[in-house]
C-alpha cells in the first residue's frame, strides 16, 4: 500500500512491524482493534511489511480466525465497507493458540516472529494486552523470559496495556513495579480510549491554539466546571466485571481524570510526550484527596433500580446476571473535585458518571462567573445567566458557547443564545472506532496520548479515600435511583449546597 515513512495528508505511515494481540478471541479485538486496523489501512497508514498475530487460549485455526474477523468487520467498521483494504489486512492476519502461562506457546510465538522478521526484514513488534488484567504481569514476564521484549531483540518492542490498570493505588503501583521489572517506561503504553476521541484531543488545540480563551481560563473568570458521562445502557452482560469494579473504578481515575487533566493543565512547553504528560501529572497531583469525613459530603454513589429508558425496560442492577442480590456496587458516582493550585483554587470541578441514565451524554461544561447586575436594575430583567462553554464529546461532537442577547422588542428582555460548532457538520465524518489514532501512535512510538505510571498512580491516589470509605460503609439506600433518571437526589443536593445546578443539556 505504501512505503514506510511516506506521508499522507501530513500523517506519517507507520514503519514495518508485527502486532501481537493477547486475548485475540475477545470482544475488544473484533469490535475495536481489527476494525481500527482496517480503518488505518483505508487511510494508507500501515506499511506493506505489516502483520498481525492473534494469540489466545481458544483452539482456532488461522483461517478460522480470519473468517471470524471478516464476519465481524461488516458490523463494526461502519456502512461503507470497502473490500480491497480488508483483503489486504486479512491476508496479514495469523493466529497462535496457547495459554498465557504456557512456555511452549511463547516458543511458537518467538519462532513465528523470527520467521516474519526474516521475510519482512524488520523485527519491530507491538504486543497488545487485551487480556484479563491479572494476566498483564505474567504475560510480560513470559515475553521477557522468552527474550521477546529486548534488549537482545533487534528492532523496537512495545507493549500496550489495556484498562483496568490495577483496582486501587496499591495494585496499580505493584503492576507498575512488575512491568518495569521487565520493560523500560518508554516501552509501556497504558491505553485510555478516551484519549482516542477527536473532541478530547481537540481540547489541547482549543485551549492552546486560540488566543482568546487562555486569558479567561482560570479562577478569576471560571465559576466551576461540570463533567457528565452518562450512559443509557445498564451493565449489558458485564455484570461479573462490573460487580467487582463499580462506576468509580471503571470510569473516574482513568477516563474522567483524563478529561479533567486536559481541561485544567498548564500549557506544556511542547507537544513532546513527556512535556504534555508532565503537565497532566502535575494537575492530577494538585487535586486534593478527600479526608474520610468529606467523602460523605463531597462524593455521592448510586445504584439503579428497574426503570424504562426510551421504551426499553431495565431490571434492577441487583437482578443483572452475575450480580449479587444485595450488591453494594455503585453504578453512579458524583463528586466535587478541588484542584489546589494557582489557576483553580476555589473553582470546583463537579463530575457525574452513571449507567442507566435517560440518555447517552458526555460533555464538559465550563461555567463562567456572572457579570454584575447593577446595569439592569429597574428593567424587566430578573437575573443574568452565566456564559457556558460546552465541549460535547458524545453522542454529538462539538463546542458551543452560550451568551446573553437582547430579545427584540420595546422592553429590555434578555435571552440565552448559542454559538455552535458541530464537528460532523464542519469536517464530515470518517469511520473510526477511537482506536485508530492510539494504535498508529504506538506504531510510531509516540506516547503522548498514553498514560505514564505517575499519572495512573495520581488518579488512584485521588479516589483512594472514596474507595476506602465506600468499602467500609455499606450503602444502606441502594438502589437509590430509577433507571432512566439522572441519578439519586443526593447528586442534585451536592450542587444545590453550593448554590448550583447540573446543566440540562439541550444537544
Q: Name the residues annotated as catalytic.
A: 255
By C-beta, is 68 or 362 nearer to ligand BG6?
A: 362
Smallest separation, CB 394 to ligand BG6 (Å): 6
Closest by CA to 299, choosing from 307, 284, 309, 287, is 287
Smallest separation, CB 245 to ligand BG6 (Å): 7
Query: Cis bond leading into 188, ω under 30°?
Result: no
For ligand BG6, the nearest residue by Cβ is: 250
Contact between 39 and ligand BG6 (CB under 6 A)?
no
Contact between 362 and ligand BG6 (CB under 6 A)?
yes
First to last CA, the chain: 40
Residues that contact ligand BG6, how many (by CB under 6 A): 5
Q: Using CB under 6 A as the criterion, what x/- string covers residues 389-428 for binding ligand BG6? A: -----x----------------------------------
d(CA 302, CA 334): 9
Q: Please, what sign has the CA dihedral across residues 230, 197, 130, 54?
A: positive
Q: Report residue 228 CA to chain centroid gap.
A: 13
By C-beta, is 94 or 231 nearer to ligand BG6?
A: 231
Contact between 231 and ligand BG6 (CB under 6 A)?
yes
Which position has the grid cell 421504551?
311
- Structural Rg of the chain based on CA atoms: 24
Do 343 and 264 contact (CB within 8 A), yes or no? yes
Smallest separation, CB 254 to ligand BG6 (Å): 7
By C-beta, is 216 or 394 nearer to ligand BG6?
A: 394
Strands 312-314 and 307-309: antiparallel
d(CA 481, CA 330): 11
Smallest separation, CB 370 to ligand BG6 (Å): 32
Question: Can you list the alpha helix ranges (DSSP code H) found in 181-238?
Answer: 198-208
For residue 224, the SS3 value is strand
By C-beta, is 250 or 441 nearer to ligand BG6?
A: 250
Contact between 162 and ligand BG6 (CB under 6 A)?
no
Closest by CA to 287, choosing from 341, 351, 247, 218, is 341
Residue 219 neighbours by CB under 8 Å, 6+ apart? 343, 344, 345, 346, 347
Measured CA to CA in angstroms, residue 200 lies from 46, 218, 272, 412 at distances of 24, 19, 17, 39
Site for ligand BG6 in 263-302 (CB under 6 A): none
Do 18 and 52 contact (CB within 8 A), yes or no? yes
Contact between 94 and ligand BG6 (CB under 6 A)?
no
Q: Name the DSSP letter for residue 326.
A: T
By C-beta, is 86 or 460 nearer to ligand BG6?
A: 460
Do 208 and 496 contact (CB within 8 A), yes or no? no
Contact between 329 and ligand BG6 (CB under 6 A)?
no
Contact between 433 and ligand BG6 (CB under 6 A)?
no
In the Cβ-directed half-sphere of 319, how many Cα atoms lie within 13 Å? 9
Smallest separation, CB 372 to ligand BG6 (Å): 39
Do 337 and 350 contact (CB within 8 A), yes or no? yes
By C-beta, is 310 or 476 nearer to ligand BG6?
A: 310
Smallest separation, CB 400 to ligand BG6 (Å): 20
d(CA 55, CA 70): 17
Contact between 250 and ligand BG6 (CB under 6 A)?
yes
Smallest separation, CB 250 to ligand BG6 (Å): 5
By C-beta, is 92 or 197 nearer to ligand BG6?
A: 197
The residue ranges that bind ligand BG6 (CB under 6 A) are 163, 231, 250, 362, 394
Amino acid at each position: 500500500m505504501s512505503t514506510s515513512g511516506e506521508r499522507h495528508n501530513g500523517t506519517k505511515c507507520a514503519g514495518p512491524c508485527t502486532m501481537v494481540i493477547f486475548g485475540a478471541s475477545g470482544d475488544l479485538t473484533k469490535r475495536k482493534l481489527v476494525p481500527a486496523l482496517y480503518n488505518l489501512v483505508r487511510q494508507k497508514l500501515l506499511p506493506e511489511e505489516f502483520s498481525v498475530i492473534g494469540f489466545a487460549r481458544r483452539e482456532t485455526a488461522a483461517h478460522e480466525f480470519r473468517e471470524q474477523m471478516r464476519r465481524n468487520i461488516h458490523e463494526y467498521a461502519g456502512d461503507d465497507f470497502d473490500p480491497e483494504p480488508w483483503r489486504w489486512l486479512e491476508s496479514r492476519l495469523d493466529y497462535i493458540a496457547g495459554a498465557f502461562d504456557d512456555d511452549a506457546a511463547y516458543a511458537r510465538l518467538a519462532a513465528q516472529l523470527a520467521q516474519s522478521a526474516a521475510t519482512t526484514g524488520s523485527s519491530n513488534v507491538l504486543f497488545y494486552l487485551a487480556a484479563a488484567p491479572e494476566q498483564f504481569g505474567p504475560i510480560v514476564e513470559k515475553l521477557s523470559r522468552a527474550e521477546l521484549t529486548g534488549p537482545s531483540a533487534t528492532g523496537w518492542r512495545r507493549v500496550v496495556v489495556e484498562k483496568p490498570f490495577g483496582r486501587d493505588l496499591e495494585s496499580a503501583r505493584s503492576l507498575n513495579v512488575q512491568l518495569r521489572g521487565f520493560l523500560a517506561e518508554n516501552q509501556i503504553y497504558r491505553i485510555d480510549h478516551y484519549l482516542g476521541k477527536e473532541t478530547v484531543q481537540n481540547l489541547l488545540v482549543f485551549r492552546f491554539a486560540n488566543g482568546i480563551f487562555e486569558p479567561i481560563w482560570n479562577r478569576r473568570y471560571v465559576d466551576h466546571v461540570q463533567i457528565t458521562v452518562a450512559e443509557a445502557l445498564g451493565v449489558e452482560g458485564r455484570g461479573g466485571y462490573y460487580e467487582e469494579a463499580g462506576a468509580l473504578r471503571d470510569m473516574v481515575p482513568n477516563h474522567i481524570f483524563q478529561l479533567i487533566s486536559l481541561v485544567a493543565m498548564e500549557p506544556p512547553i511542547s507537544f513532546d510526550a513527556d512535556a504534555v504528560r508532565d503537565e497532566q501529572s502535575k494537575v492530577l497531583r494538585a487535586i486534593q484527596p478527600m479526608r474520610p469525613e468529606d467523602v460523605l459530603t463531597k462524593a455521592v454513589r448510586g445504584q439503579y433500580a428497574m426503570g424504562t429508558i426510551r421504551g426499553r425496560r431495565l431490571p434492577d442492577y441487583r437482578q443483572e446476571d452475575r450480580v449479587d442480590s444485595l450488591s453494594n456496587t455503585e453504578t453512579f458516582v458524583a463528586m466535587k473535585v478541588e484542584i489546589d493550585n494557582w489557576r483553580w483554587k476555589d473553582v470546583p470541578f463537579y463530575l457525574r458518571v452513571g449507567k442507566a441514565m435517560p440518555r447517552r451524554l458526555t460533555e464538559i461544561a465550563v461555567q463562567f462567573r456572572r457579570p454584575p447586575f447593577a446595569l439592569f436594575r429597574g428593567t424587566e430583567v430578573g437575573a443574568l445567566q452565566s456564559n457556558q462553554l460546552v465541549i460535547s464529546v458524545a453522542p454529538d461532537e462539538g463546542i458551543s458557547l452560550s451568551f446573553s442577547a437582547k430579545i427584540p422588542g420595546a422592553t429590555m428582555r434578555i435571552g440565552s443564545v448559542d454559538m455552535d460548532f458541530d464537528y460532523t457538520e464542519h469536517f464530515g465524518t470518517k469511520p473510526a472506532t477511537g482506536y485508530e489514532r492510539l494504535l498508529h501512535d504506538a506504531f510510531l512510538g509516540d506516547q503522548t496520548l498514553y498514560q505514564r505510571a505517575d499519572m495512573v498512580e495520581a488518579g488512584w491516589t485521588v479516589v483512594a479515600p472514596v474507595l476506602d470509605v465506600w468499602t467500609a460503609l455499606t450503602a444502606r439506600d441502594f438502589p437509590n435511583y430509577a433507571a432512566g433518571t439522572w441519578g439519586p437526589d443526593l447528586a442534585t443536593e451536592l450542587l444545590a449546597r453550593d448554590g448550583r445546578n447540573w446543566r440540562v443539556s439541550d444537544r
